[in-house]
């Protein structure tokens, strides 16, 4: 009996070859990957919908925060400009 005989290729599990077992495991991994990707897409879409809803709901408060940040942004731009000019 050589290494290429069918009896050597068969595994203990119901006569399934190693190649078939590997294919089955790869199929399970592919299925898990697909389910994971679908879950991530659904979660991402849910976050996008919630984000748009929050912006629409609190539009006035958002504008107030943006207006409040304008002064701080200008101060930061001035400090950076002075630091560049110093060199």
Residue 1 belongs to a domain? no
Q: What is the mean pLDDT of residues 73-80?
A: 97
Residue 61 belongs to a domain? yes
More confident residue, 15 or 49: 49
Please give the tally of structural domains in the chain.
1
Q: What is the mean pLDDT of residues 3-22?
A: 60
Torsion of CA 26, 28, 31, 33, to 10 degrees: -70
The pLDDT assigned to 14 comes to 59
Give this prediction's pTM. 0.53
Find the domain containing 72 and state its range: 6-86
Residue 4, number of CB atoms within 10 A of its CB: 7
Residue 13 belongs to a domain? yes
Residue 47 belongs to a domain? yes
């Amino acid at each position: 009996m050589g290494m290429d005989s069918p009896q050597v290729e068969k595994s203990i599990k119901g006569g399934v070859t190693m190649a078939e077992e590997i294919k089955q495991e790869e199929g399970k991994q592919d299925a898990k990957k697909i389910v994971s990707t679908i879950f991530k897409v659904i979660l991402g879409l849910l976050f996008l919908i919630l984000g748009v809803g929050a912006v629409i709901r609190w539009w006035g408060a958002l504008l107030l925060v943006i207006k409040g940040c304008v002064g701080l942004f200008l101060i930061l731009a001035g400090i950076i400009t002075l630091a560049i000019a110093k060199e």
